[in-house]
Amino acid sequence: MRYSDIQTMNVSEIICKKMFGGKFIRHVFGISTIVFSLLGTGVFADEMATYREIIEREIATRQDLADLIAMQNEEFDTLSTSRARLQKLAEITGMNFTAEDAARPVNRGEVAKAMMLVFNIEAGFMFYLTSWERYALRDVQQAGIMQTKFSEFQVLSGMQLVGIVNNSAENAEKSVSWGQ
């Protein structure tokens, strides 16, 4: 290979020519480069963009909660619409979430109840009897997932919501490992 040839080639062509010397390998390398670059703009990019939007929000919404639960359960791409993710959360939790409620701010009580039902956090006697959000909040605070001294009606930021969902997932993993 001459120096003038190297100046006109891109890096992948140089590597293929030096190591393999064939056109077939260059085509395979080029196609794989295109495929991997397209993966970065597909479903995973949508999920990460949604995750970033949630983190940056001043006040988290019910739709944000539904999106995070779908991400945690690895159903974000199978439940392609936001309405489907909200309906799935309503099915899991038994709470009445409609499409009109998607933009409403989510409060600590709703999040606590969702965490109790989605991640199977150990329920206290009063939550077991009533399924009220105030008792869900008490049990979630007792598990160390949320901070104490706040009411059930306080709204959350996106960053707080992400932290609570992550803490709940970690707590669920720990409880599974305790049972083994």
Tell me: do 170 and 94 sit in the same domain: yes
Q: How far is CA 10 from CA 7, 13, 22, 27, 176, in A?
A: 8, 5, 15, 13, 51
Q: How far is CA 91 from CA 12, 94, 130, in A?
A: 50, 5, 18
Give the residue ranges of the chain where pLDDT is below 50: 2-7, 24-43
Tell me: do 21 and 88 sit in the same domain: no
Which pLDDT score, from 0 to 100, does residue 163 have? Answer: 92
Tell me: do 15 and 74 sit in the same domain: no
User: Cα–Cα distance between 11 and 35 in angstroms, integer?
Assistant: 18
- The answer to whether the pTM exceeds 0.85 is no
Which pLDDT score, from 0 to 100, does residue 33 have? Answer: 43
**Is residue 162 a part of any domain in this protein?**
yes
Which pLDDT score, from 0 to 100, does residue 41 have? Answer: 44
Which pLDDT score, from 0 to 100, does residue 4 have? Answer: 46
Range of the domain at 27: 3-39
Which pLDDT score, from 0 to 100, does residue 151 have? Answer: 73
Instruction: Count up the domains in the chain and report the number.
Output: 2
Which pLDDT score, from 0 to 100, does residue 68 have? Answer: 93
Tell me: do 70 and 98 sit in the same domain: yes
Tell me: do 94 and 146 sit in the same domain: yes
Tell me: do 79 and 35 sit in the same domain: no
